[in-house]
Structure 1
Amino acid sequence: MAQTEFFDALETRSTAQRESEQMAALARQVAHAQAHSTAFAEILQGVDAPEIHSRDALARLPVTRKSALLERQRAQRTTDVFGGFSALVRGPQMRRVFASPGPIYEPEGVTQDYWRAGRCLFAAGFRAGDLVHNAFSYHMTPGAFILESGAHAVGCSVFPAGTGQTEQQLQAIADLRPDAYTGTPSFLRILVDKAMELDSDIGSLRKAVVGGEAFPPSLRDWFTERGLAVYQSYATADLGLVAYETKAREGLVLDEGVIVEIVRPGTGDPVPEGEVGELVVTTLNPAYPLIRFGTGDLSAILPGHCPTGRTAPRIKGWMGRADQTTKVRGMFVHPSQVADIARRFPQVRKARLVVSGEMANDHMCLQVEASEADEGLRTLIETAVRDVTKLRGQVELVQPGSLPNDGKVIEDARTYQ
């Protein structure tokens, strides 16, 4: 396949070359974070950065979840609104500051395509000279700027449409004849429906990159039937681009600027390839060096490479939320507690807590896959359930491989009247 089919040469590196180069960059990033981020100087205190040059070494570092980032930012509001995570200071090297719900504040550096979205748009067919109708919000959050900077990196012009004002946006599309759309899939659906209602000409739009919401295959097919090739992006305000869809439509290819792990929810323990777990991302961005950042989203690694020739690993896409904390008989039960119980018994391969019954009549059953199952083990695990959660629950020993591969550590199966 010709090189012009790729955004850059990084996309076709061999697996061994990518892993070697990313692991070398990881050790440098850990050292950089320790030196330039007061938060990670504390979180990674005592860590020997040059030794963090493998996935096994990375897996021994603590996971920093969004809730912890928010807590640090709140605690340091008067001295550092970024909670010590930013390696940038206000001035020429910090182009913008954004606010996401929380509020969580994020810095933007000055490097070209700071959020690395150009790779995603290129894979969707965006090319130099295209005009992009950008319908992400330009208000407070970085979504619009993530995609706009990516469009500029590809060589596109951008119409900053923002959100709302549907009929005015349709008029702009009819007048300007943009080639592509970026924004949420739901607003693109609104634009298409309204255009059909008003007989407005939006036929220039032939391709789109969407994000910020779930994008089911049924909606993708709906757009395809109307002449729009729409591709999914997965990006966050903290990390920038994490993964993107290609024309192969087989999962999302991981960006070249991140190292992704899939861990068991509530822990930092990587799961086997193909098993659903929480996406934990280490970004190689020196301006905002997040190490083992827990996204709270569920996904799984797909085997093999993308048929387009891109060789980076792929994920299945967004598969739900990893934080399954629930309240049982007035007490919170966390995924980390289920993991703690399982760790106490080497025979346990996997555990899933099912909460059933009606409200005010909760019933807990811990389903356990174990290599050696007997009545003595079941009794010991029941005792551990009571010790860890302070609640009584039954234990059911099940056959290895019988629990669903859906990333759920706690299943709330109660009926709510």
Structure 2
Amino acid sequence: MAEYFDSLETRAPAEREAALLAALSRQVAHAQSHAPYFAEVLREVDPRALTSREALAALPVTRKSELTARQRTMPPLGGLNATPLGGLRHVFQSPGPINEPDGHSADWWRTARAMFAAGFRAGDLVYNTFSYHFTPAGMMMEAGAHRIGCCVFPAGVGQTESQVQALASLRPSAYAGTPSFLKLLLERGEEMGTPCASLSKALVSGEACPPPLRAWLQDHGITARQMYGTADLGLIAFETDGGDGWVVDEGVLVEIVEPGGTKPMPEGETGEVVVTVLGNGDYPLIRFGTGDLSAIVTDSSHRASPCGRTNIRLKGWLGRADQTTKVKGMFVHPGQVADVVRRHPEVRAARLVVTGSVGADTMTLHCDATHDDEGLARAIGESMREVLRLRGEVRFVSAGSLPQDGKVIEDARDYS
């Protein structure tokens, strides 16, 4: 059985760096010529001069948090797309709202590499529980699975009992989805007397997979590997067998910069993950700030992973550079909380508190309001469902009791 997805994963670091910088020059030239937004922000840049990481670091950072406003001005993609809508396959929408495209090339989000590292092989039946509507997660996994030669069952989310029955009849070997939903399916299968015994491998994403959950899955015969990616960028990094960190994808240039800034951080120090996608002519994102925090594993640019892959590695997801928080696999933005509050003039101030553990999290909107009653609580809850696309609780607090620390979202979950 092949150990690596392709020869790119084991090439010499110097060879990789030279190839990435050459691709960077081509990508910037393409973006300047075809994407209105980049034609403006990179108008003074000479692509031929981008021959080093230092030259890359001089370019402006476009942050994910800026996309909603840009896309309102120039719908639907803010002028960041280099391919007109007629040349794209889909446009999706994630909470924010943020619109994301999908092109016609095979494995457009490059997820096959992470799936291969997780043990997926041609002929496997992949049980895909990511959503196929609004957000692109379901299609992201499906495209990667097809690139490897897998067959996919598009399960989507919800309908737990029906999903347990489908697992029993289909007997898939591989799972794609959040780790918490996989645990829920296994537990429900045991309760129903229909254990999901065929699954042996999983590629999980959308939320953290803490060590206790990973061990629980392993005890149930499933080896889970994590994938780090976004709807905008596709695959960024992925876990491997015996790896010390998440191996960066071969199709991106990853930097760790000062949160909210543009200056690269020293190797090993925590900062914001900034990504340049190479080879994607449809949506050529250059120095795109994810808002996620991570760090480069020290000396990983000179020391191969124990799995043999030679690319740099990230220490994993270490939090958010802003207050944006992921709840049940969906991003919740401070601006969305403000939208909820604006719908109810009775609310003077509010703070969204996320508690519980990853995958079993609960959102509670703490409201300082002119009055508190069941009718107002119900109306605010309905607004939360409409704006955040998630259910949450409403709790009224005494006047002036909310902390005056500028936080709109507080992540108080247990990550142990």
TM-score of the aligned structures, taking structure 1 as reference length: 0.76
Aligned to 1:309: 308
Aligned to 1:403: none
Supply the AA of the counterpart residue of 2:49. Answer: E
Aligned to 1:8: 6
User: 2:128 & 2:403 partners in 1: Cα distance?
Assistant: 50
1:262-293 per-position Cα deviation (integer Å, ceiling 9, x unaligned): 01112111011000100000011221100000
Residue 67 of structure 1: how far off its partner (Å): 2.1
Aligned to 1:319: 318
Aligned to 1:200: 194
Aligned to 2:228: 234
User: 1:74 & 1:175 partners in 2: Cα distance?
Assistant: 46
Aligned to 1:339: none
User: 2:96 & 2:320 partners in 1: Cα distance?
Assistant: 17
Residue 52 of structure 1: how far off its partner (Å): 1.3
Aligned to 2:56: 58
Aligned to 2:173: 179
User: 1:74 & 1:362 partners in 2: Cα distance?
Assistant: 31
SS class of match (1:233): strand
* 1:295 aligned residue (267, 290, 293): 290
* 1:73 aligned residue (47, 71, 74): 71
User: 1:363 & 1:214 partners in 2: Cα distance?
Assistant: 26
Distance change (3 Å), C-alpha of 1:360 and 1:237: closer
TM-score of the aligned structures, taking structure 2 as reference length: 0.76
Residue 53 of structure 1: how far off its partner (Å): 2.0
User: 2:323 & 2:238 partners in 1: Cα distance?
Assistant: 26
**Percent of pairs with identical residues:** 58
User: 2:57 & 2:401 partners in 1: Cα distance?
Assistant: 39
Distance change (3 Å), C-alpha of 1:272 and 1:193: same
Aligned to 2:281: 286
Residues 1:98 and 2:96 aligned together? no
Residue 201 of structure 1: how far off its partner (Å): 3.0
SS class of match (2:206): coil
Higher mean alpha-carbon deviation, 192-201 vs 145-154, is at 192-201
Q: CA RMSD in A?
A: 2.2
User: 1:271 & 1:18 partners in 2: Cα distance?
Assistant: 21
Residue 140 of structure 1: how far off its partner (Å): 1.0
* Structure 1: runs of 5+ lacking an equivalent: 331-357, 365-410, 413-417
Residue 250 of structure 1: how far off its partner (Å): 2.2
Aligned to 2:368: none
SS class of match (1:260): strand
Supply the AA of the counterpart residue of 1:293. Answer: F
Distance change (3 Å), C-alpha of 1:281 and 1:361: closer
* 1:252 aligned residue (228, 235, 246): 246
User: 1:48 & 1:361 partners in 2: Cα distance?
Assistant: 48
Residue 180 of structure 1: how far off its partner (Å): 0.5
Distance change (3 Å), C-alpha of 1:202 and 1:269: same
User: 1:42 & 1:298 partners in 2: Cα distance?
Assistant: 28
SS class of match (2:106): coil
Distance change (3 Å), C-alpha of 1:202 and 1:75: same
Aligned to 2:259: 265
User: 2:126 & 2:402 partners in 1: Cα distance?
Assistant: 53
User: 1:71 & 1:267 partners in 2: Cα distance?
Assistant: 19
SS class of match (1:5): coil
* 1:190 aligned residue (177, 184, 189): 184
Distance change (3 Å), C-alpha of 1:168 and 1:73: same
